Structure 1
Amino acid sequence: MSVLSTLAAALASGSVEVIDLSAPLSSETPTLALPPQFGQTAAFELEEISRYDDRGPGWYWNNFRTGEHTGTHFDAPNHWVTGRDREDVASVPARRLVGPAVVLDFSAEVAKNSDFLLEVDHIKQWESEHEPLPEGGWLLYRTGWDARSSSQEEFLNADSNGPHTPGISIECAQWLAHESPIVGLGVETVGTDAGAAAGFDPMFPCHTFMHGAGKYGLTQLQNLSQLPPTGVVLVASPLKIVGGSGSPARVLALVER
C-alpha cells in the first residue's frame, strides 16, 4: 500500500485518531483586551441572513464578524512589526501548515504559578528525556490554561497589575526563533506571550523574535492533554485571507493509538 493509502486505512480503523485542538468559536469566546488607548479586536458575532423562512425558504446561512485573532487562531509573521515585510496569512506555504509536533507539559508548574515562564533549560531537559524538537515542526506548550476558556475573566486572569498567564521567557523566545528547528509555537493562552510580557524588554518577546524570524503562532488551543509528548502530526487550517495578519483556525492533531 502507498503511504497515503496506509494513512487512510489507519484513519478508517481508528488506529490513527484525529483530535480537535480548536476551541468553539462563539460570542462567548474570550478575546484579548489591550489598554484602552489601543484598538480592540471584535468579539465573534453571527448575523442571520435567512433560516428556512421568507428571506430564504430552503436554506439557512449567516454573516459573521470577528477579529483575525479571535479564538483558536494562527499568527502570521506580518502580525508583528518585526515581521512586517514577511508573509501574510494567505502567503504561508501549505506544506508548512502540516507537520510534526511535540507537547511539552508544564501544567503542574503553572498550577502553582500562573506567571510561569518556559526557559531554554526546560526545553533542553525535555529533549534529554524524549527527542530533539522536530525540524520544520511545532512546539505545543501545555499549561492547562484551556480549562479556563469558558470565562473571559478567568482566561485573562487580570488584576490591578495586569494579566497573569504563563508564557515564554525573553531568552527562550529568542532561542526558539533563531536556534531551534521549529516553524511555530502553539499555546493554550490568549496569545503566545505571557500575560506580563508588556513589561518585558523587548515587549512581547515571543511575537518580536518569532515573527521577525518568519515563524508562526497558534493560540487558544485545547485538548493538548489528549496528546502524547511525541509522535503527533499537526494540521493547522487558517482562512486564506489576502493581506491578513492571522485567522481563526481549525487545528487538528493526528495521533497513532
Structure 2
Amino acid sequence: MSVLSSLVEGIRTGAIEVVDLTAPLSSDTPVLMLPEPFANTAPFRLTEISRYDDRGPAWYWNDIVTGEHVGTHFDAPIHWVTGREGEDVAQVPPPSLIGPAVVLDFAAHAAADHDFLLQIEHVKEWEKANGALPDGGWLLYRTGWDSRAGDQAEFLNADETGSHTPGISAQCARWLAEETPIRGIGVETVGTDAGAGHSFEPAFPCHSFMLGAGKYGLTQLRNLDRLPVTGSVVLAPPLPIVGGSGSPVRVLALVER
C-alpha cells in the first residue's frame, strides 16, 4: 500500500483521528481591540445574497466581510514591520503549511496567573522531558484560554490597565525565532503576543521576532487538550490572498490512535 493510501485508510478506519483546532467563525467571534488612535479590523459579517427564493431560486449564498486576522488565522511574515520584505500569505510555500507539532501545556499556570509568560527555561525543561522541538514544525502553546472564546469581554480580559492574557516573554520569543528550528507558533489567545505585549521591549515580541525571522503564527486555536504532547501533524492552509498579511484558516491535526 502506498504512503498516501495508508494515510487515507488510517483516516477512514479511525486509526488516524482528524482533530479540528479551529474556532467557528461568526459575528460572535472575538476580535482584537486596539486603543485610539490605531485602526481596528472589521469583525466577521455574513450577508445573504439569495436563499432558494426569487433572488436565486435554486441556490443559497452569502457575501462575507472580515479582517485577515479575525478568528483562527494565519500570520504571514509581511504582517509585521520586521518582516515587511518577507512572504505575503499567498507566497507561503505549500509544504510549509503541513508539519509536525508539539504541545506545551501551561494551562494550570495561566489559570493561576492570567499574565503568565512562557520563558526559555520552561521550553528547555519541556525538551528535557519530551525531546527537541520539531525541525520545521509547530510549537502549540496551550493555556486553556479557548474556554473563554464564547465571550469577547472574557476572552480579551481587559481592565483599566489593559488586556490580561497569557503569552511568551520577549526573551523567549527571540530565542524561539532565532535559535530553534520550529516553523511557527500556535496559541489559543486572540494574537500570538500576551495581552501586555504592547509594553514589552520590543513591543509585541512574538510578532516582531517570529515574523521577522520568516516564521509564522497561528492564533485562536482550540482543542489542544485533545492532542498528544508529541507526534501529531498539523495542516494549516490559509487563503492565498495576494498581498495579504494573513488569512482565516481551518487548522487540522492528524493524531494516531
State the TM-score bracket (shorter-chain normalisation).
over 0.9
Q: Which amino acid aligns with 2:209?
A: F
Partner of 1:108: 108
Secondary structure at the residue paired with 1:218?
A: strand
Partner of 2:207: 207
Q: CA deviation at 1:4?
A: 1.1
Is the counterpart of residue 82 in structure 1 residue 82 in structure 2?
Answer: yes
Q: Distance in 2 between matches of 1:8 and 1:109?
A: 38
Secondary structure at the residue paired with 1:37?
A: coil
Secondary structure at the residue paired with 2:30?
A: coil
Considering only aligned residues, what root-mean-square deviation do their CA atoms show, in Å? Answer: 0.4
The runs of at least 4 consecutive aligned structure 1 residues that moved more than 2 Å come to: none
Query: TM-score, normalization: structure 1?
Result: 0.99
Q: Distance in 1 between matches of 2:208 and 2:139?
A: 17
% same residue: 68
Is the counterpart of residue 225 in structure 1 residue 225 in structure 2?
Answer: yes
Q: CA deviation at 1:188?
A: 0.1
Is the counterpart of residue 161 in structure 1 residue 161 in structure 2?
Answer: yes
Report 1:2-13 matches (<5 A).
Answer: 2-13=2-13
Partner of 2:130: 130
Partner of 1:176: 176
Secondary structure at the residue paired with 1:67?
A: coil
Q: Which amino acid aligns with 2:118?
A: L
1:3-56 deviation per Cα after TM superposition (whole angstroms, max 9, x unaligned):
111111111100100000000000000000001211110010011100000000
1:191-219 deviation per Cα after TM superposition (whole angstroms, max 9, x unaligned):
00000010011000000000100000000
Partner of 1:246: 246
Partner of 1:36: 36
Q: Distance in 1 between matches of 2:24 and 2:218?
A: 15
Partner of 2:236: 236
Partner of 1:119: 119
Aligned residues, how many?
Answer: 257
Q: Distance in 2 between matches of 1:135 and 1:3?
A: 21
Query: TM-score, normalization: structure 2?
Result: 0.99
Q: Which moved more, 1:221-230 or 1:2-11?
A: 2-11
Secondary structure at the residue paired with 2:235?
A: strand
For structure 1, the 5+ residue unaligned runs are none
